[in-house]
């Protein structure tokens, strides 16, 4: 099985969305600010449902928000 990690562009997308706060994003997708911070730092992989919600908030396809990186 190929080893890897899920990278994401959430920090950049929040910046481009007018410095949207982690709390605002968390509220939009139904998680806490701490969970958004953990996702951004790669400490937690969100459920597929939350990943789609995040992508929808930014109006981007899923693969522009999350990427699989081989390690």
Partner 1 sequence: MAYREKLAAVHFAAMALPYAVYFTLVATRPPEPRLIDMLWLFGAAAIVHALLAGFGSLAIRIQAGTEGRAPADERDRAIARRGRSIAYIVLLVGMMLAGVAMPFTEPPAKIVNTALLAIVVAELVNGGVVLFSYRRGWHG
Binding site for partner 1 (CB under 8 A): 6, 30-32, 34-35, 38, 41-47, 50
Nearest approach in angstroms of CB 43 to partner 1 is 3
Long-range CB pairs of 59-64, under 8 A, 24+ apart, other chains included: 60/13, 64/9
Nearest approach in angstroms of CB 34 to partner 1 is 4
Question: Alpha carbon of 64 to those of 1, 8, 34: distances in Å?
Answer: 24, 8, 22
Nearer to partner 1, 10 or 46 (CB): 46
- Angle at the Cα of 69 from the Cα atoms of 3 and 35, rounded to 5 degrees: 95
Nearer to partner 1, 16 or 41 (CB): 41
Nearer to partner 1, 7 or 16 (CB): 7
């Amino acid at each position: 099985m190929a080893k890897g990690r899920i990278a994401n562009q959430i920090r950049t997308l929040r910046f481009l969305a007018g410095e949207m706060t982690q709390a605002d994003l968390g509220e939009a997708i139904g998680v806490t600010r701490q969970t958004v911070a953990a996702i951004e730092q790669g400490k937690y992989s969100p459920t597929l449902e939350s990943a789609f919600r995040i992508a929808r908030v930014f109006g981007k396809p899923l693969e522009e928000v999350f990427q699989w990186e081989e390690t």
